[in-house]
């Protein structure tokens, strides 16, 4: 099983911390795994150095997000709700989770934190379902927008299946 030590290193993986402050670390070489208590590493700002029984030393970034976030590159549109003359504008979904979406607008915009939008995009799976959600803008960084789903559904079948870690 893997032994966890502080530091940083060459191969880097991610482990997601659950509500009990546990994370399962999986060796990228041999697949061995170990679930650890992450409480002692709560304030750690850098990756953990892990040495597996197969002799591989690698680094683990502890993800403390409420939901797993997946990098994407999906075309879509957004429109401001409550603005009668608003028309759908193009965007690219850069990341997605059960709790929200991060996207980049194609053009400059006037979006602000707490604006309410409708976003539409199609998942790049065999079924190609269209996702339509109401979101609240939580972060604006030039053309990058971080938004939270207004009514997140942790049991959403389409997004849940799409977001299952690779």
Say yes or no: 76 and 156 in one domain.
yes
Say yes or no: 75 and 146 in one domain.
yes
pLDDT for residue 25 is more than 50: yes
Q: What is the pTM of this model?
A: 0.61
Q: Of 12, 33, 63, which marks where a domain is finished? A: 63
* Among candidate residues 164, 129, 134, 131, the one with its CA nearest the CA of residue 147: 134
Say yes or no: 89 and 158 in one domain.
yes
Residue span of the structural domain in which 48 resides: 3-63
CATH code of 26's domain: 3.10.660
Quick: pLDDT tens for 76-88: 999 999 988 889 9
CATH code of 109's domain: 2.40.10.220
Q: Of 12, 34, 63, which marks where a domain is finished? A: 63
Say yes or no: 148 and 82 in one domain.
yes
- For residues 84-97, b (16+ Cβ closer than 10 Å) or e, as one string? eeeeebebbbbebb
How far is residue 89 from each of residues 112, 119, 123, 132, 147, measured CA to CA in Å?
15, 10, 18, 14, 16
Backbone angles phi, psi at 161, to 5 degrees: -65, -40
- For the chain, how many structural domains are there in total? 2
What confidence score (pLDDT) does residue 126 get? 87
Say yes or no: 58 and 75 in one domain.
no
Say yes or no: 31 and 100 in one domain.
no
Say yes or no: 95 and 127 in one domain.
yes
What confidence score (pLDDT) does residue 54 get? 92
pLDDT for residue 5 is more than 60: no
The C-alpha atoms of residue 114 and residue 156 are separated, in whole angstroms, by 24
Q: Of 63, 86, 114, which marks where a domain is finished? A: 63
Say yes or no: 14 and 46 in one domain.
yes
pLDDT for residue 137 is more than 50: yes
């Amino acid at each position: 099983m893997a032994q966890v030590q502080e530091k940083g290193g060459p191969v880097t993986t991610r482990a997601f911390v659950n509500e009990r402050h546990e994370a399962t670390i999986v060796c990228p070489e041999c697949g061995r795994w170990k679930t650890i208590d992450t409480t002692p590493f709560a304030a750690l700002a850098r990756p953990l150095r892990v040495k597996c029984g197969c002799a591989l030393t690698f680094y683990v970034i502890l993800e403390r997000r409420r939901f797993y976030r997946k990098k994407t590159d999906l075309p879509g549109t957004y429109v401001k709700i409550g603005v009668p003359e608003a028309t759908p504008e193009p965007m690219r979904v850069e990341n997605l989770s059960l709790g929200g979406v991060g996207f980049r607008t194609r053009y400059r915009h006037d979006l602000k934190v707490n604006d309410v939008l409708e976003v539409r995009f199609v998942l790049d799976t065999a079924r190609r379902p269209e996702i339509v959600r109401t979101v609240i803008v939580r972060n604006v960084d030039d053309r990058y927008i971080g938004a939270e789903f207004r009514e997140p559904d942790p049991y959403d079948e389409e997004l849940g299946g799409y977001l299952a870690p690779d």
